[in-house]
Chains A and B, each alone.
Chain A
């Protein structure tokens, strides 16, 4: 049943939130530290494990895949509910940060590709 997949996803999400919250309190910082990231790692591990044991039937998987196909629409809804008017005053920041940060990453690609070849 699809709900099994949704339930697996919910379990990973909640455990991730719990870990993130726990880290937040340990380091005495407000908010949730990396809860989404922990949840993603959990889901990857669980997915690998269940696949190996052949326990993940396509129907269950569908329950998770539905939500992953919803993520762009959810991000669109999120964008539509931000304080864009105020953000426009920082429009130049967005453009300069995006282009510069991306260009630096682009430039490093050939070097990192080489690191591996030397090691091999």
Chain B
């Protein structure tokens, strides 16, 4: 047994691949069988990750257990930012032109509104430092923008965990709410789908929500949502953080 722990300890990153692969598999299975694909598997897997973190002893979640130390490397800021940058491959400026002015407005507005609504609520719920407010506001954009911003401005792990949780709840909420209110917001054409993706930013929630509404609209919403996520990673830790600092 000690031998096994030693091997896992020495090969932390490789063991982390195995662990995360297992989590993904269970989450996809759970998503398919229990929620009938109604909740994005990505949101289930991330929630699963947060639950596992709870069983770790200290600040570093599951990585505080030596055998799982590789999880901190796989989920560390270097590999995280690297893989997030790669998702920009799904976006193209020539495509975004089709969304027109309203598309561009939605991409910027989706970030700014979510950021400030999130920040203001956090302020009234007792968070008073600029780093935490910025990170929570960024979490209200997506579960990617939150931790990217949190790491950039130097927020605590606790606040980063809250920002991930906000992003995950948003993703699930968007998924469930989209088919219900699609008619009310006239979400039945590519143009509105692009604006919807830009406003809500969460690529996983937008894709799953559109899939449940009308499969044909998925690529339109996913495109602007990807742009919006990139915009969030750009604006939140820079201009928006700067603005928050002026107020606090």
On A, residues with C-beta under 8 Å from B are: 9-10, 12-13, 16-17, 20, 23, 27, 29-41, 43-45, 47-48, 51, 61, 64-65, 67-68, 70-88, 90-102, 104-106, 108-110, 112-113, 115-116, 119-120
Contact = CB atoms under 8 A, between A and B. Distances in A.
B69 to A, nearest CB: 9
Contacts of A30: 153-154
Given A48-B92, A85-B54, A109-B195, A71 B87 contact: yes
Contact of B152 (A31, A39, A51, A82): A31
Contact of A43 (B68, B86, B118, B136): B86
B162 interface: yes
User: What interface size band does chain B fall in?
Assistant: 35 or more
Nearest to A93: B125
B87 A102 contact: no
Interface stretch (B1-9, B29-37, B103-111, B212-220): B103-111
A94 B173 CA distance: 12
B94 A48 contact: yes
B216 to A, nearest CB: 17
A104 B121 CA distance: 13
A7 B122 CA distance: 40
A52 B148 CA distance: 31
Contacts of A13: 81-82, 85
Closest 8 CB pairs of A and B: A37-B234, A79-B49, A116-B102, A77-B75, A78-B75, A87-B161, A98-B169, A82-B161
